[in-house]
Amino acid sequence: MPKSFNQQVIEEFRANGGKVGGPFEGGDLLLLTTTGAKSGERHTVPLAYVREGGLLLIVASAAGAPSHPAWYHNLLAHPAVRVEIGTETYEAIAVPAEGARRERLFRQVVRVAPGYADYQARTTRTLPVVVLERPEHGAAGPREVDNLADKLIEVHTWLRSQLRYIRAEADAHLAARAAHQGSGAPPVPGLGLQIRQHCLVFCETLTFHHTGEDAHVFPALAHHHPHLREALDRLRDEHRTVARIKDELLALLADIGTADPHHFRAELVRMSKELTAHLDYEEESLLPVLAEIPFPPGPPAPPPEPVLSPASVPTPDPVSAPAPDPESAPADSAGSTAVRR
């Protein structure tokens, strides 16, 4: 089957350190990999980008087509995306700008790439401007991971910091809301996509992490370290409690514009309390044993061994966040038109 145009651009981009010739010669191009809103499959599209005020911006223009490109629907459903830019690859959170911020950013984009004004003129939809946020590591910065305890701490640190961020955003929203009360005050906007996108990524990562622990780490630890079984039972119970709160949050996120912000904030507080206690107890109970297990796992140990060592506990990347699929499906057709300005 002949390669699609997008696939040819993607291959050229990857083979040449992010440079592409032909109609894109000298243009600012990145590869965006999203997760299909319905299919759950990974899709990569080449897109033009604009850097403005320290932000990395893309516009869901689809060249002024009447509908949003598929990649935009994908990132609304799954805000965790992968960005390839030059020779660098990293995970980011995609956050569409809203309201006055969107207007300001779009004006800045048009100053750099005037073609977007033409695209906007061709369609009645408001072209979404998406900020690709690169999450910061914990305050201590990235640390070396060479055993499973380090990996657990890495994921826990990310979960804690992401939850702190969402709570701070929710608090700021409530404060702004309180300040708007009174006669003649403009209508108060809903909680917004900034909170929604971050909270979705938090929930997805939390689910993936706890699923991995329940399915892989805990059974292996219970088998090789029977003295931990009581603690593991408690940790599984805590996973269920946290999952119930996460489901409440997801239900509120389903319609973030009309969700009750006080209810949302209350669920966040519950999540913080339960999750913090869980992470603390898990670290206290498991870190000494996990520190004995190399990560990433080394080559398979030579069989047979009379006694299983801790290093032989199967560790199929059970505690990490969802790993990007290096194989990218061909881009959607609407997305392909976005490589222009």
> Which residues in this chain contact Fe ion in the complex, by CB under 5 A?
213, 282
Give whichever of 50 and 249 is closer to Fe ion, judged by the CB atom.
249
| R_g (Cα) of the chain, nearest Å | 23
The residue (of 210 and 341) whose beta carbon lies closer to Fe ion is 210
Task: Indicate the residue among 20 and 242 with the shorter CB distance to Fe ion.
Answer: 242
3-state secondary structure of 238: helix
Give just the sign of the alpha carbon dihedral 246, 250, 253, 259.
Answer: negative
Any idea which residue has 């003295």 for tokens? 227
Q: What strands, in cross-sheet order, belong to the sheet with 50-52? A: 42-48, 29-35, 80-85, 88-96, 129-133, 55-59, 50-52
Q: Among residues 204 and 213, whose Cβ is nearest to Fe ion? A: 213
Q: Are 296 and 317 in contact (CB under 8 A)?
A: yes
- Closest distance of CB 157 from Fe ion, Å: 11
Task: Give least dist CB 275 to Fe ion, A.
Answer: 9
Q: Which residue has the tokens 């061909």?
A: 330
Q: Report, in Å, the least distance between residue 220 CB and Fe ion.
A: 14
Q: Name, in order, each residue with C-beta under 8 angstroms of 19's C-beta and a sequence gap of 6 or more.
A: 13
Alpha-helix residue ranges (DSSP H) falling in the chain: 5-15, 70-77, 99-112, 115-122, 148-179, 193-212, 218-224, 229-253, 261-290, 333-336
Strands 42-48 and 50-52: unpaired
Q: Which is nearer to Fe ion, 62 or 235 (CB)?
A: 235
Nearest approach, Cβ of residue 270 and Fe ion (Å): 17
Nearer to Fe ion, 81 or 153 (CB): 153
Q: Measured from the CB atom, is 134 or 164 closer to Fe ion?
A: 164
d(CA 142, CA 161): 13
Token pair 């990235």 in the structure block, residue: 142
Q: C-beta of 235: minimal distance to Fe ion in Å?
A: 5
In 3-state terms the chain splits into helix, strand, coil percentages (rounded to 5) of 50, 15, 35
Nearest-approach distance from CB 133 to Fe ion, in angstroms: 24
Contact (Cβ atoms closer than 8 angstroms) between residue 80 and residue 202: no
Q: Which is nearer to Fe ion, 29 or 153 (CB)?
A: 153
Rounded to the nearest whole angstrom, what is the least distance from the CB of residue 140 to Fe ion in the complex?
A: 18
Bond from prior residue into 296 cis (ω within 30 degrees of 0): yes
State the distance between the two ends of the chain, measured CA to CA, in whole angstroms.
Answer: 30
We find the least distance from the C-beta atom of residue 244 to Fe ion, in angstroms, to be: 15
